[in-house]
Structure 1
Amino acid sequence: MRPGRVVLINDRSAEIGGASNLSCLAARILREAGVPVTFFAGDEPSGMTQPQAIHLNGKPLVERGRLSALAGGLYNRDAYKALRGWVAGHDKPSTIYHVHGWSKILSPSIFRALMPVRERVVLHAHDYFLACPNGGFINYPASSICTLDPMSLRCLTTQCDKRGYHQKAWRSTRHLLMQRFFALRSRPANIVLVHEQMRGFFKRAGIDDSRMATIRNPVAPFLSSRTQPHTKHDFFFIGRLEPEKGFEDAARAARLAGVPLQVIGEGAGRALLEERYPEVTLHGWCNRAQMADRLRDARCVIVSSRVPEPFGLAALEAVGSGIPVVLPSHALLAAELAEAGAAFTFPTGGIEALAAKLRRLADDDDLVLAMSEKARSCAPHLANTTESWLEALLALYARILDDAIKARAPTQAPKERTGARAFGTAGTAREAGA
C-alpha cells in the first residue's frame, strides 16, 4: 500500500547538510512519485522553503539565548501544539510520519505529539541521538569512542560532553524526556539505520531492534566526469568545522606529512585554522557545483571524524568520483572501503598514523591510480541511488501501513475491516521491504 500522505518532520527545511539535505530530497522525490507530502519544520521559511510546509519560525538552539535554549531544547511547546493539532485535524490511516531531525529546534515534545500514531511513525537515525545523549558515542574530553551503556549509572556520572558536565546533564535530561514520550526500550519502533553496524550501538542502549531496517543513503559522486587524482597534489578535508569532525586532526597530519590541504566546510573552527594553520586553504561552505570544481584538484579526501560516523557521505561521494579516501577505522564504512582497495584507514585520533598514510599517498602515483580505479568500481555497491532509495522508502512505508492495518483489524468495525482488505498488496510490500 502506498501512503496517502507522508509528513516529513525535521528541524530545518533548507538544504544545509546531513539530515536536512535528505529530508528535502525525500520531499522532492516522493512528490515526483505522486505521494502527497507535508513538511513540518522548526525553522523559518527561506528561499529554499518546501511547498506545503508548516513552519514554527524557530531558531536553532545555538542561535538562541541560554535560558531560551535550555528550556526550548527540552520541551518546545509550539512544536508540540502544532504537530498535535495537525495529527488531530488531518491524520488518516494511510498517513506516514517520518522524523529526520529533532534535536536542534523541535525537541522531544514532538514525540509526545506523535504517540497517538506511533505505529505509523518512522525515526530516521542519521546520527545516534535516539540511543546516546550526546549523539555520538564519543567521550569528547578524552577524544575517544565511548564504550559505556547509554544512560547507565556510569554514563550519567561521566563527563563526556564537549561543553562540560552541565551540558551532559541537560542532554541526559532531554534523552529521558524523549524516552518517556516515545519509550524505545519497552516498545519496538520503526527505526531506519543508515548502516547495519549501527544496530549494535542501538542494542547497547537497550533499544528494541525488532522493527529496525537498514536503508543506506543515496549518494551521487562529486564529479560527473573522470578525474585523474594521481596527477594532482592537494589533499581535501570536507565537513563541518566542529571538534567531533576532526578538522584539526586533518590539518595537523597534513602539516606533519608536508602535503597541501584544502578545507571545504564552515563552523566555529574556522578561526582556529586561520590562526594556527595559515598554510591551509579555506573555502568555507560550497554548493555542489563549487565542490565539483574544487575537487578536480584532489589527490585524496581525508575523513578524520572522531565520532563513529554512521555513514560518511563525503567519503562515498569522493570514492564515487574515483578519489581515494583516508578515514578512521571506527567509521562504519571503513572496513568495506579498505577491503575494496579504495581507502586507507587509521586509528581514530591517531595524528601520526594519519600523517604516515598521507605521505604514502603523496609519494606513490601508481598507488593513487590503482586506488582510484578500485574506488570507481566499488562505489555503486556501497550506497543507494536516488531511485533505489525511493523504492526502499516506499517499501518500508507499505510494510508499516500493512502492519498497522493488521494490528487494528481485530478491534475495528466490519466497515473498517472491509476497507483494510481493499489495500490489497500488503504481502507484496512486505516482501519488497525485506
Structure 2
Amino acid sequence: MRCVIVSDFGAVNGGAAKVAIESARGLAEAGVEVVFACAIGPVSPRLDHPRIDVQRFEGEEIWKVGGRIAAARQGIWNAAAHAFLTALLARQPAGTIVHLHQWTKAFSPAAIAAVGESGLPVAITMHDYFSFCPTGGYFDFKAGAPCARRPMSGGCMAANCDRESYAHKLVRVARQWRSDEALRALAQPLFIHVSDFARDVARAFLPRQARHVVVENMMEAQKRPPAEVAGNRHALFLGRFTQEKAGDVLARAAREAGMPVRFVGEGPLRAEILKANPAADFGAWVPAERVFEEIERARCLVLPSLWYEPGPLVVAEARSRGVPVVLARTTGPAGWIRDGEDGLLVDGGDVAGLAAALAQLQDDETARRMGEAAYRHYWADPLTVARHVARTIAAYETLARAPQAASAAG
C-alpha cells in the first residue's frame, strides 16, 4: 500500500500537523510506503524513516506572502502548489491513496483540484470545517454562537461572521468557492471525521458522492495509576483563550460555584477572563511533556466550547489520568462521556449549568468516583497510534476497492 499525505506544515505546530506527522510515521512502521508532501518548514525528525519520502513545496503561510492582495490571491488559488502536486501525483503508481490533512495555510484549494485531476483515490481528514465553511469553524464570531446558516448560501456570504472583518470573510468565501468546485469534481472522496459528532455536523454540507468514516486521532499516554483527584481543588482550562473556547464562561461559572480555577495557555480573551474572575490563576503554555503534570494537579478538566469542536485530545489526556471532564455536549468528545458516571455534560454558554456541574464535583466522593470511571473507560480502548493506524489502513482499503467496484458495476 502507498499513500501521499498532504500537510501544510512539516513540523508540529498544532493538532492537525501533529496527527498528519504521527499518522505518517505510524503508517510507515506498519509497512505503508508514505510520501509526505508539505510546504512550510522545518521538517520534523519524526518523518525520518526509510518508508517516508518527504517532498517539500517551498511555500509560505498565505498571510505572510507580500501584501494582503497577494496573500489573498494565493490563499484562493496557489498556482505553484497546483503545479507541484500535479507533478508529484503524476509520478505515483495507480492505486496510490492521496490523504489531505491540511491545505488552507499554504497549498490552497489547488491541492484538492490537483488530486481530482490525478484520478487517484482521495481521503480528507476533517480536523475542522474548512471543507464546507468559509471560516472553518462553522461559528458566527459576531453572534458568539454556532452558525445557523447553510454554508455558501446567500445568507452565509452576506453575513459578517468572521473573527477579523467582512473583507476577510469575502476572501474566505472566494477560497471556499474554489474549494467547493474542486470537491464536486472528486469522483468518490472519503471524508475521515475525528468524532461521530463532527461527522454528523459536516455530512449534510459535503458532496453527495462522498463516503464517510470516523477515525479518532491518536493520543499516546503511558499508563500510570490514576491521579488522586479528591485531593485536588481547582478546575483546569487548557487551551487558547479565544471567544469560541469560552474561557470567560468557565471563569464566571467557577466564581459562582466558589471553585478555584486555573487557565493554562494564552490568547486575546485573557483580560476578559480575569475580569470575570479576579481570583483565577494563570499559567503559560507548557511543553507537551508537561501537559499531564498540569492535568494530574486538577480536580477536573473543563472544556466549555461554544463551537462544535471536532475532537480535542485534551479530553482523552485527562481521562487517561483519571481526571473527570466537564464539557459542552456539542463537542466531539462528548460522545465518549457517560454523563454523571465518568464526567458531566453541559450546554455551551450556560454559566449556571456549568456552575452546578462544578459544585457537584466539589464533593470528594463524586470526584473520586467519576475520575476512577473515566480512567477505567479510557484504558478499555485507549487512543493509541496503533489503533489510529489500523483504522486508517482499513479506511484506505475501502477507498482502494471503491474504483474497482465502480468499474465492475459499469
TM beyond 0.5:
yes
Q: Is the 8 A contact 1:221 1:319 kept in 2?
A: no
| CA distance in structure 2 between the aligned counterparts of 1:119 and 1:367, rounded to whole angstroms | 53
1:272/1:340 CA distance change after superposition, 3 Å: closer
1:147/1:410 CA distance change after superposition, 3 Å: closer
- What is the CA-CA distance between 1:379 and the residue it aligns to? 1.9
* 1:34-183 aligned within 5 A: 34-46=31-43, 48=45, 50-51=47-48, 52-64=53-65, 65-88=67-90, 90-183=91-184
2:22 partner amino acid: L
Q: Is the 8 A contact 1:340 1:378 kept in 2?
A: no
| CA distance in structure 1 between the aligned counterparts of 2:184 and 2:47, rounded to whole angstroms | 31
1:148/1:120 CA distance change after superposition, 3 Å: same
1:344 partner amino acid: L
Q: Is the 8 A contact 1:325 1:343 kept in 2?
A: yes
2:29 partner amino acid: E
- What is the CA-CA distance between 1:369 and the residue it aligns to? 0.7
- SS of residue matched to 2:226: coil
2:117 partner amino acid: P
1:332/1:44 CA distance change after superposition, 3 Å: closer
1:330/1:321 CA distance change after superposition, 3 Å: same
1:104 partner amino acid: K
1:21 paired residue number: 18
1:111/1:206 CA distance change after superposition, 3 Å: closer
Deviation per CA, 1:403-428: give whole Å up to 9, x if none.
Answer: 234445799xxxxxxxxxxxxxxxxx
Q: Is the 8 A contact 2:296 2:321 kept in 1?
A: no
1:63/1:259 CA distance change after superposition, 3 Å: farther
- SS of residue matched to 1:286: coil
Number of residue pairs aligned between Structure 1 and Structure 2? 405
Deviation per CA, 1:141-164: give whole Å up to 9, x if none.
Answer: 111122222112222222222222
17-26 vs 67-76, greater mean Cα deviation: 67-76
2:230 paired residue number: 230
1:391 partner amino acid: A
| CA distance in structure 2 between the aligned counterparts of 1:256 and 1:316, rounded to whole angstroms | 27
| CA distance in structure 2 between the aligned counterparts of 1:291 and 1:43, rounded to whole angstroms | 26
Seq. identity, %:
27
- SS of residue matched to 1:100: strand
Give structure 1 stretches of 5+ with no counterpart. 412-434
- What is the CA-CA distance between 1:294 and the residue it aligns to? 2.2
Deviation per CA, 1:126-185: give whole Å up to 9, x if none.
Answer: 11111222222221111112222211222222222222222222212111101112217x
1:369 paired residue number: 368
2:394 paired residue number: 395
- SS of residue matched to 1:237: strand
Q: Is the 8 A contact 2:121 2:188 kept in 1?
A: no
| CA distance in structure 2 between the aligned counterparts of 1:188 and 1:149, rounded to whole angstroms | 23
- What is the CA-CA distance between 1:50 and the residue it aligns to? 3.0
1:138 partner amino acid: F
Q: Is the 8 A contact 1:221 1:318 kept in 2?
A: no
Q: Is the 8 A contact 2:196 2:214 kept in 1?
A: yes
Q: Is the 8 A contact 1:260 1:280 kept in 2?
A: yes
- What is the CA-CA distance between 1:273 and the residue it aligns to? 5.4
1:353 paired residue number: 353
122-131 vs 111-120, greater mean Cα deviation: 111-120
- What is the CA-CA distance between 1:301 and the residue it aligns to? 0.5
Q: Is the 8 A contact 1:30 1:390 kept in 2?
A: yes
* 1:194-343 aligned within 5 A: 194-205=194-205, 207-208=207-208, 210-221=210-221, 224-269=224-269, 279-334=279-334, 336-339=336-339, 341-343=341-343
- SS of residue matched to 1:339: coil
- What is the CA-CA distance between 1:373 and the residue it aligns to? 1.4
1:203/1:294 CA distance change after superposition, 3 Å: closer
| CA distance in structure 1 between the aligned counterparts of 2:152 and 2:176, rounded to whole angstroms | 9
2:5 paired residue number: 8
The alignment's TM-score, normalised by the length of structure 1, stands at 0.85
- SS of residue matched to 1:42: strand
152-161 vs 279-288, greater mean Cα deviation: 279-288
- What is the CA-CA distance between 1:33 and the residue it aligns to? 1.4
- What is the CA-CA distance between 1:283 and the residue it aligns to? 3.1
Q: Is the 8 A contact 1:119 1:189 kept in 2?
A: no
Give structure 2 stretches of 5+ with no counterpart. none
1:214/1:50 CA distance change after superposition, 3 Å: same
Q: Is the 8 A contact 2:95 2:120 kept in 1?
A: no
1:62/1:282 CA distance change after superposition, 3 Å: farther
202-211 vs 237-246, greater mean Cα deviation: 202-211
| CA distance in structure 2 between the aligned counterparts of 1:28 and 1:336, rounded to whole angstroms | 26
1:29 partner amino acid: G
Q: Is the 8 A contact 1:149 1:204 kept in 2?
A: no
1:350/1:270 CA distance change after superposition, 3 Å: same
Q: What is the alpha-carbon root mean square deviation over aligned residues? A: 2.7
The alignment's TM-score, normalised by the length of structure 2, stands at 0.89
Q: Is the 8 A contact 1:191 1:212 kept in 2?
A: yes
Q: Is the 8 A contact 2:24 2:36 kept in 1?
A: yes
1:414 paired residue number: none
1:371 partner amino acid: M
1:392/1:203 CA distance change after superposition, 3 Å: closer
| CA distance in structure 2 between the aligned counterparts of 1:59 and 1:268, rounded to whole angstroms | 25
2:197 partner amino acid: Q
- What is the CA-CA distance between 1:58 and the residue it aligns to? 3.0
| CA distance in structure 2 between the aligned counterparts of 1:354 and 1:55, rounded to whole angstroms | 46
